[in-house]
Amino acid sequence: MIARNLLRIGAWARLPAALGLCFGIILTTGCVTSTVDEMVFNEPVEGIGDATVVILGRRHASDYETEPDFIDCVGKHIASRDNSITVISELDFVNSLYPWFEPRTAPLHPADIERLLQQRPVAQRLEELKTEYMIWIDGATVQSDSTGTMTCGIGPGGGGCFGFGTWSNDSDYEAVIWDFTDRAEVGRVNTTATGQSYMPAVVIPIPIIAPVQGTACDGIGEQLLQFLSAEY
């Protein structure tokens, strides 16, 4: 099953520079555009029952790491929408299976599942945790395209700042779903989100932050929920 969902959140055009603000100032947030792509197969027909799922971040790359707070956000999104799904926290899972899921030793490909389960302590612990699905999330949110200037000073009458700044935040994450029962990859979900944040200052700087990472979390969390839950 291949589905594609496009989410357009607050995609307002930028107003003239004289105004210097996105319409999103009314909502105290910047402008965000998000896209979610899904490709899944062997989807559970009646949810995952009393099995558990763990969501882990990929951190083997040298130039970035998947943020732990993003992993935590996705897990909380799933658990809050369907309380029948037990999501094991990343930290608890990694600690209970040390050292097999440290960045240098963590499995990278579905073919590694069989090798991993040949380790008796790993197989025994996964059975105790009732872990049926493992979801690897790879990606990051980065800031780019900073422009504008701001000047701050202190005088006899007090201090303040004047100016205007803007920058972009870009999120790109991919979730890969592994099924330990079938010992195979059973789906992928990708989300990208781009947002423009603003910092106008007339005496006091007022940040208007685009919730890029939060939007990406909701998008990927909702698609994973549809895979795992019997209610969606």
Render pLDDT for 188-214 as a digit per residue (tens, 0 to 9). 999 999 999 888 887 788 888 889 999
Q: Which pLDDT value is given to residue 30?
A: 64
Strand runs (DSSP E) across 93-214, as ranges? 131-155, 158-179, 184-205
Rg for the chain, CA atoms, rounded: 21
Q: pLDDT (tens digit, 9 = 90+) per residue, 98-142?
A: 999 988 889 988 888 888 889 899 999 999 999 999 999 999 999
How far apart (Å, rounded) are the C-alpha atoms in residues 125 and 119? 10
Q: Give the whole-number percent of the chain exceeding pLDDT 70.
A: 86
Using CB atoms within 10 A of its CB, is residue 29 exposed (0-12), middle (13-18) or buried (19+)? buried
Per-residue confidence (pLDDT) for residue 8, from 0 to 100 = 29
Residue written as token pair 């809050």:
80
Domain 2-228 has CATH 3.40.50: yes
Q: Quick check: 26 pLDDT over 70?
A: no
Q: Are 227 and 187 in contact (CB under 8 A)?
A: yes
- Is pLDDT at 25 greater than 60 in this prediction? no
Segment 77-99 shows an average pLDDT of 94
Task: Read off the pLDDT of residues 27-47 as tens digits, 9 standing for 90 and up.
Answer: 445 688 889 888 888 788 778
Confidence (pLDDT) at 29: 58
196, 168 Cβ separation under 8 angstroms: yes
Is the pLDDT at 4 greater than 50, yes or no?
A: no
> Do the Cβ atoms of 79 and 37 come closer than 8 Å?
no
157, amino acid identity: G
Of the two residues 115 and 10, the one the predictor is more confident about is 115
Q: Domain map of the chain by residue range?
A: 2-228
- pLDDT for the residue numbered 169: 92
Q: What would the pLDDT profile of 141-185 be if each residue is shown by its tens digit?
A: 998 877 877 788 887 767 788 888 888 999 999 999 999 888 899
Percent of the chain with pLDDT over 90: 46
Distance CA 137, CA 175 (A): 4
More confident residue, 124 or 9: 124
The more confidently predicted of residues 61 and 229 is 229
Of 119, 131, 144, the closest CA to residue 228 belongs to 131
